[in-house]
Amino acid sequence: MPVGTAASVKTLDADDLRNLGTQIILGNTYHLYLRPGTEIIRNAGGLARFNGWRGPTLTDSGGYQVFSLKELRKITEDGVKFQSNLDGSYHMFTPERTIDIERDIGADIIMPLDVCVEYPTTHSEADRAERQTFRWAERAKKHWETNPRRQILFGIVQGSVFPDLRKRGAEALVELDFPGYAIGGLSVGEPKTEMMPIIELMDECLPQNKPRYLMGVGTPADIVRGIGKGVDMFDCVLPTRNARNGSVFTRHGTMSVKSAAYSCDYRPIDEECGCLCCHGYSRAYLRHLLNVNEIAGLRLLTIHNLYLYLELVSHARQAILSDEYDVFERRFFADYNEEIES
């Protein structure tokens, strides 16, 4: 899922997303709630009509952004009170209020308010956050069920890198019987050697027949590994954010298009890539655009990166359907140099 923070996948419009074959985009409730505000989105007929996308959407709960505010927020049993990072105004997100906001935004898949902890954290801190997340999930589900409309609500497993907490959290949520489950609180700074065992554990704990969404992950390598461990959905700002920093992903790893090495390199980023960027524009031209701060360059690199990600997951799906995922994964890593991955 490309990340469309403020009702826009940065540098792209809905036509670009359709041309890329995007299936679903993510919106950030925190940002949309502050600007343009939920009323403007609701009156437009929901996020997918407001931004012209008209396809499937998912919204997070805003929890992740609110917890990132640190000094500007305060958690109670009821919810989380916070100050806008834009104007200092006070707001309160409760599990019920978040569902109401997400109803107004109108995404197809919505997330309950959860408590995200930093990495590293203590077991007791993670324990408290996981319990709070569960109590809020119960309240969110109850509130959602009063008027589910056509939206489905996922449960979010928290518990940091502690297997006992993750297991307890997953089992409790499964008992509540959500239509899908998200693995939250990963890719927040922990080493991959800590992240992967948790994903493997979730593969054991979460039901096989419901979608699993690994939040905020990741690099192409993370995604290939995650799919191998049963994950169905991902969102990540890497393809779009890295593009705006001049960094692109290829089948072989990453490359920094700004490098002077490309100033006279008239080849596309990847001769075998089928994206709009690789079909019409050379490394030399793209480097020049970045060098002179032409925003057309940021868009072309964004298109390339999203195309690569979407093609990767499309191939992964084909490999699963033909029961050859192991071969696919081995081939991917034979080509891919993770060392130079950003």
- What is the contact surface with a second copy in residues (CB under 8 A)? 6-15, 31, 35-36, 40, 43-44, 50-52, 263-264, 266, 276, 280-282, 284-285, 288-289, 291-292, 294-300
Q: Tell whether omega for the bond before 163 is within 30 degrees of 0, i.e. cis.
A: no
Contact present, 289 and 296 (Cβ < 8 Å): yes
Q: Is 60 an active-site residue?
A: yes
Residues facing 93 on adjacent strands: 80
CB of 8 to a second copy, least distance (A): 4
DSSP secondary-structure letter at 48?
H
CB of 45 to a second copy, least distance (A): 8
Question: Catalytic pick from 13, 60, 100, 232?
Answer: 60
Residues facing 155 on adjacent strands: 181
Q: Which of 87, 54, 95, 88 is nearest to 72 (CA)?
A: 88
> Which of 186, 298 has the CB closer to a second copy?
298
Q: Which of 116, 7, 138, 128 is nearest to 62 (CA)?
A: 116
Contact present, 32 and 7 (Cβ < 8 Å): yes
CB-based burial of residue 202 (10 Å sphere; 0-12 exposed, 13-18 middle, 19+ buried)?
Answer: buried
The number of angstroms, rounded, from the C-alpha of 147 to the middle of its chain's C-alpha atoms is: 26
What's the rounded Cα separation, in Å, for the pair 66 and 218?
21
> Which of 28, 250 has the CB closer to a second copy?
28
CB of 149 to a second copy, least distance (A): 21
> Which of 51, 94 has the CB closer to a second copy?
51
Question: Catalytic pick from 108, 235, 326, 335?
Answer: 235
CB of 214 to a second copy, least distance (A): 26
The CA angle 218-219-225, to the nearest 5 degrees, is 85
What string of H, E and C letters represents the secondary structure of 108-128? CEECCCCCCCCCCCCHHHHHH
What's the rounded Cα separation, in Å, for the pair 81 and 94?
8
> Which of 85, 118 has the CB closer to a second copy?
85
CB of 71 to a second copy, least distance (A): 23
> Which of 285, 336 has the CB closer to a second copy?
285
> Which of 45, 207 has the CB closer to a second copy?
45
CB of 282 to a second copy, least distance (A): 7
> Which of 120, 280 has the CB closer to a second copy?
280
CB of 293 to a second copy, least distance (A): 9
Residues facing 91 on adjacent strands: 82
Angle of helix 325-335 relative to helix 220-228, nearest 10 degrees? 160
Q: Is 114 an active-site residue?
A: no
CA dihedral over 238, 244, 247, 253, signed as positive or negative: positive
List, by residue number, the catalytic residues.
Answer: 60, 235
